């Protein structure tokens, strides 16, 4: 009975999967016309399911409405009636509502904000797929079991009464043959009810296995060292390769794959590389000079329908002398996590500068969205004036738990894929669809110098210890600051 109920709940609810591992919620900050909004999407566990939407505005807003629709294909043009977000009684700039995600795929949340400066719109892509099941409460299981027993006994009793008394003339007394016929009918009915329950249980168990196979799991890659200086990455899941055949990969920040290698368990070496695809599902990366050790691999990709994924792998490498890094590839060294005795808000850079994590004294808590702000200073202690866009963004941040079970690649706009966001914004403004595509067209930055601060909207998914890699570009050189965080 419990298995049956779990399947029912699995088919009733949902949880999005994004290009992250163990970090399902969506965090996004952008402009809805003249209004600056910070959006948090609390993703449900199974599909169909209810997503909780939290919106904070930096300016006064009269009303906010939210409508979910598919990102591409059928259903992407016809928006359902939007839900009105409820304003908090304690904070007039905070709104919340719930929306249904009705099927597997990539959704877009269209947010309409109304205020003194008119209406503004913002769109947030939300990929959705099953990643878990819900456990039935004991009280509900007991109630449903009692109801099933009551209905089963009732059905047998009704059949017995019909064959025992239903064929008598009005006012006639029961005869032994009538009693015997009623008992036989009840026996046959009981056998039928038991058979129906047995076959139903078998069917539900089979359906539970099918539903379990639909639970989303991060695809795996096979990583092998080739010719002593190349790493070959090959997707091993046939279903994922079929998915790539239907929805090929598209560039995100100008690359089909963003590859992150972190040496474990010390997390003292970090690389952000960009392998080339030699055929669907197969990538090749020339390796730089690397020390020996076990490396966990996190590979971000985006499909043409806007669905982002993080593929996982591990590889043990010998100490090797490789090629120098070029282009947007980067590396970083840090103190081993085993030697971190206290959390520091300062990260020294190789050129003598440093990055400061501007945070308050309040302890970090799970499931609390916020801004992670970092200020870059030169060796003279003054804010730098030479910060440049790194792959079109003011910076990139990777949040990684010390045990490797949580990984999130975050941008100043949030945790959404920029390629998926570009598709969503094109659907919001159809006239943009005819423009020449370019990576993160609406969020890329010019080559002019940027402010010395960069901010990332994010929230830790669970308690634990995390390492944060903050990547920026200064005077043509990519630099990575490293911070540790304890979430209680």
Same fold, 2-128 and 334-488: yes
Each residue's pLDDT tens digit, 110-134? 999 999 999 999 999 998 877 666 6
SS3 call for 112: strand
Which of the listed CATH numbers 3.40.50.720, 3.30.450.20, 2.40.30.10, 2.60.40.1930 matches domain 2-128?
Answer: 2.60.40.1930
120 — alpha (psi -120 to 50), left (phi > 0) or beta?
A: beta
For the chain, which ranges sit under pLDDT 70?
1-19, 131-134, 208, 210-214, 429-449
User: Would you list the domain boundaries of the chain?
Assistant: 2-128, 138-213, 220-327, 334-488
Task: Report pLDDT for 343.
Answer: 86
Output the pLDDT for position 15: 34
Q: Concatenated DSSP letters for 241-301?
A: HHHHHHS-B--BTTBS-EEEEEEETT--EEEEE-PEEEETTEEEEE--SB-SEEEEEEEEE
Domain 220-327, what fold? Immunoglobulin-like (2.60.40)
Query: To which residue do tokens 């809805």 refer?
Result: 32
Q: Which single residue is written with the structure tokens 């009840």?
A: 186
Q: First-to-last CA distance in the chain?
A: 37
DSSP at 309: E
CATH architecture group of domain 334-488: Sandwich (2.60)
Q: Please count the other Cβ atoms lying within 10 Å of the Cβ belonging to residue 477.
A: 13
At 44-98, the pLDDT tens digits run 888 788 999 999 999 899 999 999 999 988 777 777 889 999 999 999 999 999 9
| Residue 249 near residue 304 (C-beta atoms within 8 A) | yes
What pLDDT sits at residue 178? Answer: 81
Q: What is the pLDDT of residue 367?
A: 93
Listing DSSP states for 77-92 in one string gives S-PPPPEEPEEPSS-T
pLDDT at 372: 97
- Give me the half-sphere count of Cα atoms (radius 13 Å) on the Cβ side of residue 439: 15
Please give the pLDDT value at position 210.
67
**Could you tell me the two tokens for 404?**
């490797």
Q: What is the dihedral of CA 423, 424, 428, 432, to 10 degrees?
A: -20
Query: What pLDDT was estimated at residue 171?
Result: 77
DSSP 136: P
The DSSP symbol for 434 reads: G
Of 8, 220, 45, 36, which is closest to residue 115 (Cα–Cα)?
Answer: 36
338 DSSP 8-state letter: G
User: In the 8-state DSSP scheme, what is residue 475?
Assistant: T
- CA 450, 276, 420, 370 dihedral sign is negative
Q: Quick one: tokens of 12?
A: 């009733």
Residue reference for tokens 């560039």 = 251
Q: What is the distance between the alpha carbons of residues 68 and 57, in angstroms, rounded to a whole number?
A: 20
């Amino acid at each position: 009975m419990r298995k049956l109920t779990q399947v029912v709940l699995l088919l009733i609810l949902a949880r999005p999967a994004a290009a992250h591992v163990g970090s399902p919620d969506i965090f996004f900050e952008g402009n809805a016309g003249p209004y600056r909004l910070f959006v948090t999407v609390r993703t449900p566990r199974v599909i169909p399911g209810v997503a909780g939407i939290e919106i904070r505005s930096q300016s006064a807003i009269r009303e906010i409405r939210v409508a979910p629709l598919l990102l591409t294909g059928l259903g992407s043009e016809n928006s359902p009636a939007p839900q009105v977000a409820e304003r908090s009684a304690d904070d007039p700039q905070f709104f919340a509502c719930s929306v249904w995600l009705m099927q597997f795929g990539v959704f877009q949340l269209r947010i309409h904000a109304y205020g003194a400066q008119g209406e503004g719109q913002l769109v947030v892509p939300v990929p959705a797929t099953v990643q878990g099941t819900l456990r039935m409460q004991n009280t509900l299981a007991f109630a449903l079991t009692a109801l099933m027993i009551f209905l089963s006994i009732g059905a047998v009793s009704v059949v017995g009464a019909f064959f025992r008394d239903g064929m008598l003339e009005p006012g006639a007394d029961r005869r032994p043959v009538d009693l015997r016929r009623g008992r036989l009918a009840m026996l046959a009915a009981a056998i039928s009810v038991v058979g129906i329950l047995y076959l139903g249980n078998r069917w539900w168990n089979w359906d539970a296995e099918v539903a379990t196979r639909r639970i989303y799991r991060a695809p795996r890659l096979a990583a092998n060292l080739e010719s002593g200086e190349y790493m070959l990455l090959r997707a091993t899941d046939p279903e994922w390769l079929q998915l790539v055949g239907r929805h090929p990969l598209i560039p995100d920040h100008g690359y089909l794959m963003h590859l992150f290698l972190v040496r474990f368990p010390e997390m003292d070496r970090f690389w952000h590389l960009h392998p080339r695809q030699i055929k669907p599902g197969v990538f090749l990366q020339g390796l730089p000079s690397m020390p020996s050790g076990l490396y966990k691999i996190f590979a971000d990709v985006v499909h043409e329908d806007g669905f982002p994924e993080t593929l996982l792998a591990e590889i043990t490498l010998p100490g090797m002398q490789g090629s120098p890094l070029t282009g947007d590839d980067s590396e970083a060294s840090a103190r081993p996590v085993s030697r971190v005795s206290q959390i520091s808000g300062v990260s020294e850079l190789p050129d003598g500068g440093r990055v400061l994590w501007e945070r308050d004294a309040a302890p970090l808590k799970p499931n609390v969205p916020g801004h992670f702000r970092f200020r870059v200073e030169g060796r003279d202690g003054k804010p730098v004036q030479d910060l440049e866009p790194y792959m079109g963004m003011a910076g990139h941040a990777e949040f990684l738990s010390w045990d490797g079970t949580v990984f999130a690649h975050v941008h100043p706009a949030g945790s959404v894929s920029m390629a998926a966001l570009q598709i969503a914004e094109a659907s919001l403004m159809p006239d943009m669809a005819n423009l020449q595509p370019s990576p993160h067209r609406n969020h890329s930055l010019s080559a002019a110098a940027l402010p010395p601060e960069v901010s990332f909207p994010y929230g830790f998914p669970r308690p634990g210890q995390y390492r944060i890699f903050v990547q920026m570009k200064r005077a043509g050189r990519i630099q990575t600051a490293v911070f540790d965080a304890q979430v209680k």
